[in-house]
Amino acid sequence: MVKKVAIIGAGISGLASIRSCLEEGLEPTCFEKGEDVGGLWKFSDHAEEGRASIYRSVFTNSSKEMTCFPDFPFPDDFPNFMHNSKLQEYITAFAKEKNLLRYIQLKTLVSSVNKRPDFSVTGQWDVITEKDGKKESAVFDAVMICSGHHVYPNLPKESFQGLQLFKGKCFHSWDYKEPGIFKGKRVLVIGLGNSGCDIASELSHTAEQVIVSSRSGSWVMSRVWHGGYPWDMMFITRFETFLNNNLPTVISDWWYVKQMNARFKHENYGLMPLNGTLRKEPVFNDELPARILCGTVTVKPNVKEFTETSAIFEDGTVFEAIDCVIFATGYSYAHPFLDDSIIKSRDNEVTLFKGIFPPSLEKPTMAVIGLVQSLGAVIPTTDLQSRWAVRVIKGTCTLPSVKDMMNDIDEKMGKKLKWFGKSNTIQTDYIVYMDELASFIGAKPNIPWLFLTDPKLALEVYFGPCSSYQFRLVGPGKWPGARNAILTQWDRTLKPTTTRIVGSPLKPCLFCSWFRPVLISVLSIAAFLVLF
């Protein structure tokens, strides 16, 4: 019998999961609380409880060639970094092209997911949904949770002494939509992540004064990288990953900090992270340094104490007559329809094998898609996660023993502590993670073989951007257009910017971006050998 799969959420992860189920001959039913597909990227002019929320001016941080579904490139004329409305347009087009809408039940809330009494034998789940005040119950052979991790705001009011005395407005960035109502106001933004920097930069054009308070600082990267090319197409490459993971730590750390400081010296702007060598996800903002230079944004350390009208920072300085405090302090992970112990099976931490499967379940019939975070784009990640997860659910792929899965989780947590500073973070190394998943289903590109059989493609795959098309070159779900998409990815990148022809568009040199670090490494090793 065909296995029935319940998919919770019709955002990017949900659409990827529906498509993966169909590719493997499973029967998906997707439940979406909202009125449309798109999840996080479906803008609404007001925040709705239990749903992700973005502000009107949000743009993507990943470029279109790195962001797309691996067999569905963006139109040539789409900008490299898109406004949320453009990405929503693409997501809707993908859902229609792949005929996914028929499997989605909109305006339907999943209220509970529970193991059936015979779960240890069947692996089945009871799923209760609610629509128009009516509840329905159905049995599914598997459940894929695709509800994202930008739904439940983390508002740590108890961490700020005196905040209860503050008489101005106070809310989370989840509620922020546009800057108009802040004209002439004095605003304090707490948090130096992407949302905090975006909101501070935007408000600086209308507010009287904006101050950003940061506890630990952050690297701030531009979407425009060396030579004017999209940052991720130059930065996220297989060879760059090889160097980062194999060079001596001192050289790797030095080169990483040098890259982060290439645009401006972070210490001169009060932005320098407390531990600059950690590979925590940087902030992407093209405007913040200029707003700091112009004096319309000021960066301060953590807030020590609030009074009725002001904030006192840890350096003793005071921001007075504050009208509004905006907490850009991230989100909590929650699945209110599910027993917490299934996903947080140890010390209240998210414990998932490869960031997808709860290791302690008797049957591997539940998968969490889209809960990892990396420098890479979300769409390719969820596409590959769902392809593997569906094959595990179908029985084509198998999971290791519980002991081996827990050992793998512990090993990964140790590496995360070293690279990101926290063992329980959902961050991961993009290319290493993608290759690991791809190897499980036979979709990982064989680089040595490519160099022997198709050197032109191999050069692009290894030294060029690690775009999503690479993971549809071989294996199940292989896309015949993948090779051509890789070889023409720079043409689509340059198309929307070369609107005034002043010569032939210049593509980047594949070797230039890594020649300097290799040369520096060789010279450093040579100097070490000579001196010692």
Which residue would you say has higher pLDDT here, 40 or 412? 40
**Cβ pair 77, 122 in contact under 8 A:** no
Q: Read out DSSP for 29-41? A: EEE-SSSSS-GGG
Indicate the range of 58-67, 77-86, 191-200, 350-359 predicted with least confidence: 350-359
Closest listed residue to residue 149, CA positions, set 351, 325, 301, 368: 368
- Does residue 82 carry a pLDDT above 60? yes
Do 160 and 300 belong to one domain?
yes
Side-chain half-sphere exposure of 175, counting CA atoms within 13 A: 12
307 and 378 fall within a common domain? no
The answer to whether residues 325 and 388 belong to one domain is: no
341: containing domain = 4-151+332-440
Select the more confidently predicted residue: 372 or 123.
123
User: In this structure, are 287 and 371 located in the same domain?
Assistant: no
Inform me whether the pLDDT recorded for 242 exceeds 50: yes
In a domain, 412, yes or no: yes
Same structural domain for residues 196 and 323? yes
Mean residue pLDDT of the chain comes to 91
Tell which of 307, 331, 355 closes a domain: 331
Residue 197 has pLDDT above 90, yes or no: yes
Question: Residue 346 is encoded by which pair of tokens?
Answer: 């140890």
Choice between 112 and 532, residue whose per-residue pLDDT is larger: 112
* Same-domain status, 166 and 42: no
Q: Would 487 be classed as within a structural domain?
A: no
User: Confidence band (pLDDT; 50, 70, 90) for 283?
Assistant: very high
Distances (CA, A) of 171 to 35, 44, 198, 303, 458: 26, 18, 16, 16, 50
Instruction: Tell me, yes or no, whether 323 and 339 share the same domain.
Output: no
What is the spatial distance between Cα 315 and Cα 10, in angstroms, rounded to a whole number?
46
Domain tally, the chain = 2
Q: Among 409, 440, 471, which residue terminates a domain? A: 440
**Percent of the chain clearing pLDDT 90 (strictly above):** 75
pLDDT band at 523 (very low <50, low <70, confident <90, very high): low
Cβ neighbors of 267 (< 8 A, separation 6 or more) are none
Tokens 């961050």, located at residue: 427
Instruction: Indicate the residue among 306, 331, 356 that finishes a domain.
Output: 331
pLDDT at 421 over 60: no
What average pLDDT score do residues 334-356 get?
Answer: 81
**Is the pLDDT score of 51 beyond 80?**
yes
pLDDT recorded at residue 400: 95
Mean pLDDT across the stretch 79-108? 97
- Give phi and psi for 473, each to the nearest 5: -75, -40
Within a domain: 200 = yes
User: Which pLDDT value is given to residue 423?
Assistant: 44
Question: Residue 18 pLDDT more than 80?
Answer: yes
Hey, what are 209's tokens? Answer: 């004064």
pLDDT of 180 strictly over 50? yes
> 3-state secondary structure string, 243-267?
HHHHCCHHHHHHHHHHHHCCCCCHH
Q: For position 256, what pLDDT does the model report?
A: 86
Q: Quote the tokens at residue 452.
A: 């022997």
DSSP-derived pairing of the beta strands 27-31 and 4-8: parallel
Pair (359, 319) in one structural domain:
no
Residues 299 and 374 in one domain: no
Within-domain flag for 516? no
Task: For residue 74, give the DSSP letter.
Answer: P
Query: Per the domain annotation, does 430 fall within a domain?
Result: yes
Task: Report residue 150 CA to chain centroid gap.
Answer: 10
The reply to whether 85 and 175 lie within a common domain is no
At residue 131, does pLDDT exceed 90?
A: yes
214 domain residue, yes or no: yes
Nearest CA to 435 out of 408, 395, 470, 477 is that of 470
**Is residue 229 one of the residues assigned to a domain?**
no
Q: What is the mean pLDDT of residues 331-341?
A: 87
pLDDT digits 0-9 by tens, 449-500: 999 999 999 999 999 999 999 999 999 999 999 999 999 999 999 999 999 8
> 404 and 378 share a domain?
yes
Residue 461 lies in a domain: no
Work out the percent of the chain whose per-residue pLDDT is above 70. 92
CATH number at residue 269: 3.50.50.60
Pairing type for strands 125-131 and 109-115 reads antiparallel
Q: What is the mean pLDDT of residues 141-169?
A: 92
Same structural domain, 304 and 352: no
Query: Per-residue confidence at 521, pLDDT binned at 50, 70, 90?
Result: low
